[in-house]
Chains A and B, each alone.
Chain A
Amino acid sequence: MVSMMGSRAGWRRRAVVLLLVAVSLSAMPATLAAAAAADSVEAGREAEQHTERISGSAGDVLEDNPVGRLKVFIYDLPRKYNKKMVTKDSRCLNHMFAAEIFMHRFLLSSAVRTLNPKEADWFYAPVYTTCDLTPAGLPLPFKSPRVMRSAIQYISNKWPYWNRTDGADHFFVAPHDFGACFHYQEEKAIERGILPLLQRATLVQTFGQENHVCLKEGSIIIPPYAPPQKMQAHLIPPDTPRSIFVYFRGLFYDTGNDPEGGYYARGARASLWENFKNNPLFDISTDHPPTYYEDMQRAVFCLCPLGWAPWSPRLVEAVVFGCIPVIIADDIVLPFADAIPWEEIGVFVEEKDVPKLDTILTSMPIDDILRKQRLLANPSMKQAMLFPQPAQPRDAFHQILNGLARKLPHPEGVYLQPGEKRLNWTAGPVGDLKAW
Chain B
Amino acid sequence: MMKSLLPQSQLRRSAAAAAARSSGGGAASGGADGAGSDGGAGGRAPAASTFWFLLHALCCLVSLFLGFRFSRLLFVLLFSTTALYSSTSSSSSSAVLRATTTTTTTTTTTTTTTNTITLSFAATANPPPSTSANYTALDSAASGTSGHTQSHVVVGRHGIRIRPWPHPDPVEVMRAHRIMERVQEEQRRWYGIKEPRQVLVVTPTYSRAFQALHLTGLLHSLRNVPYPLTWIVVEAGGTTNATASLLARSGLTIVHIPFPDRMPHDWADRHATENRMRLHALRVIRERKMDGVIVFADDSNVHSLELFDEVQKVQWMGAVSVGILAHTGTAGQPRLSEEDKQNMPLPVQGPACNSSGQLVGWHTFNSLPFAGKTATVVGEAAPVLPRGLEWAGFVLNSRMLWKEAEGKPDWVKDLDAVGENGEEIENPLTLLNDPSSVEPLGNCGRKVLLWWLRVEARADSKFPQGWVIQPPLEVVVPAKRTPWPETTAVLSSELLDTKQDQEDRRLSRTNRSSRSRSTTKRKGDVQGQEN
A274 contacts B162, C-beta separation under 8 Å? yes
The complex places the Cα of A278 from the Cα of B151 at a distance, in Å, of 34
Indicate which residue in A210, A238, A270, A279 contacts B168 across the interface (CB closer than 8 Å). A279
Question: Which one of B181-189, B254-262, B403-411 is at the interface?
Answer: B181-189
- Say whether, besides A193-B146, A209-B151, A307-B1, A48 and B189 are in contact (CB < 8 Å): yes
A353 contacts B88, C-beta separation under 8 Å? yes
B175 contacts A279, C-beta separation under 8 Å? no
A237-262 CB contacts (< 8 Å) to partner B: 237-239, 241-243, 245, 253-262
The complex places the Cα of A198 from the Cα of B303 at a distance, in Å, of 68
Residues on A with C-beta less than 8 A from B190 are 48, 50, 238-239, 377
| Closest-CB distance, B248 to chain A (whole angstroms) | 32
Knowing that A193-B145, A257-B6, A267-B158 touch, tell me 15 more A-B residue pairs with CB under 8 angstroms.
Answer: A187-B18, A211-B150, A242-B183, A254-B2, A255-B110, A257-B11, A258-B11, A259-B110, A274-B112, A307-B1, A355-B163, A356-B89, A359-B172, A369-B183, A370-B182
- Say whether, besides A138-B2, A188-B14, A373-B183, A261 and B160 are in contact (CB < 8 Å): yes
B4 contacts A136, C-beta separation under 8 Å? yes
B176 contacts A361, C-beta separation under 8 Å? yes
B163 contacts A242, C-beta separation under 8 Å? no
B189 contacts A262, C-beta separation under 8 Å? no
Query: Taking chain A's interface residues, is the majority helix, strand, or loop, or is none over half, making it mixed?
Result: loop
Residues on B with C-beta less than 8 A from A300 are 179-180, 183
Query: Taking chain B's interface residues, is the majority helix, strand, or loop, or is none over half, making it mixed?
Result: loop
Q: Does B192 sit within 8 A of A, measured CB to CB?
A: yes
Chain A residue at minimum C-beta to C-beta distance from B18:
A187
For B125-164 the 0/1 string (1 means CB < 8 A from A) is 0000000000000000111111011111111111111110
| Closest-CB distance, A332 to chain B (whole angstroms) | 9
Chain A residue at minimum C-beta to C-beta distance from B188:
A239
Q: Does B118 sit within 8 A of A, measured CB to CB?
A: yes
- Say whether, besides A257-B11, A261-B110, A355-B162, A184 and B176 are in contact (CB < 8 Å): no
B112 contacts A278, C-beta separation under 8 Å? no
Residues on A with C-beta less than 8 A from B144 are 190-191
Interface residues on chain A, number (Cβ under 8 Å) = 75
| Closest-CB distance, B5 to chain A (whole angstroms) | 6
Residues on A with C-beta less than 8 A from B6 are 185, 257
A257 contacts B179, C-beta separation under 8 Å? no
The complex places the Cα of A312 from the Cα of B2 at a distance, in Å, of 12
- Say whether, besides A239-B191, A366-B182, A184 and B161 are in contact (CB < 8 Å): no
Residues on A with C-beta less than 8 A from B92 are none
- Say whether, besides A185-B3, A362-B172, A352 and B161 are in contact (CB < 8 Å): yes
Q: Does A266 sit within 8 A of B, measured CB to CB?
A: yes
Chain A residue at minimum C-beta to C-beta distance from B35:
A260
A106-157 CB contacts (< 8 Å) to partner B: 134, 136, 138, 140
- Say whether, besides A190-B142, A193-B145, A211-B150, A270 and B1 are in contact (CB < 8 Å): no
A362 contacts B179, C-beta separation under 8 Å? yes
The 5 tightest CB contacts between A and B, nearest first, are A261-B111, A239-B191, A211-B151, A355-B163, A267-B158
Q: Does A363 sit within 8 A of B, measured CB to CB?
A: yes
- Say whether, besides A259-B8, A278-B167, A270 and B112 are in contact (CB < 8 Å): yes
B153 contacts A331, C-beta separation under 8 Å? yes
B168 contacts A278, C-beta separation under 8 Å? yes
Q: Does B288 sit within 8 A of A, measured CB to CB?
A: no
Residues on A with C-beta less than 8 A from B149 are 211
Q: Does A383 sit within 8 A of B, measured CB to CB?
A: no
B101-120 CB contacts (< 8 Å) to partner A: 102, 105, 110-112, 114, 116, 118
The complex places the Cα of A136 from the Cα of B162 at a distance, in Å, of 34
Chain B residue at minimum C-beta to C-beta distance from A274:
B162
| Closest-CB distance, A309 to chain B (whole angstroms) | 6
Q: List 11 A-B contacts (CB under 8 A).
A: A138-B2, A238-B187, A242-B184, A253-B110, A262-B114, A281-B176, A352-B161, A355-B162, A358-B172, A363-B172, A363-B175
B3 contacts A184, C-beta separation under 8 Å? yes
Q: Does B353 sit within 8 A of A, measured CB to CB?
A: no
Residues on A with C-beta less than 8 A from B191 are 237-239
Residues on A with C-beta less than 8 A from B4 are 136, 138, 256-257
Q: Does B416 sit within 8 A of A, measured CB to CB?
A: no
Q: Does B476 sit within 8 A of A, measured CB to CB?
A: no
Q: Does A354 sit within 8 A of B, measured CB to CB?
A: yes
| Closest-CB distance, B484 to chain A (whole angstroms) | 45
Residues on B with C-beta less than 8 A from A191 are 144-145
A134 contacts B1, C-beta separation under 8 Å? no
A332-373 CB contacts (< 8 Å) to partner B: 351-356, 358-359, 361-364, 366, 369-370, 373
B179 contacts A369, C-beta separation under 8 Å? yes
The complex places the Cα of A48 from the Cα of B189 at a distance, in Å, of 9
The complex places the Cα of A96 from the Cα of B1 at a distance, in Å, of 10
| Closest-CB distance, B172 to chain A (whole angstroms) | 4
Q: Does B218 sit within 8 A of A, measured CB to CB?
A: no
Residues on B with C-beta less than 8 A from A266 are 153-154, 158
Residues on A with C-beta less than 8 A from B151 are 209-212, 331
The complex places the Cα of A140 from the Cα of B3 at a distance, in Å, of 10
Q: Does B194 sit within 8 A of A, measured CB to CB?
A: yes
Residues on A with C-beta less than 8 A from B153 are 209, 211-212, 266, 330-331
The complex places the Cα of A367 from the Cα of B180 at a distance, in Å, of 12
Residues on A with C-beta less than 8 A from B186 are 50, 370, 373
The complex places the Cα of A238 from the Cα of B89 at a distance, in Å, of 37
Q: Does A271 sit within 8 A of B, measured CB to CB?
A: yes
The complex places the Cα of A355 from the Cα of B116 at a distance, in Å, of 13
B146 contacts A260, C-beta separation under 8 Å? no
Residues on B with C-beta less than 8 A from A362 are 172-173, 175-176, 179
| Closest-CB distance, B129 to chain A (whole angstroms) | 22
B161 contacts A213, C-beta separation under 8 Å? no
Chain B residue at minimum C-beta to C-beta distance from A50:
B190
| Closest-CB distance, B397 to chain A (whole angstroms) | 22
Q: Does A47 sit within 8 A of B, measured CB to CB?
A: yes
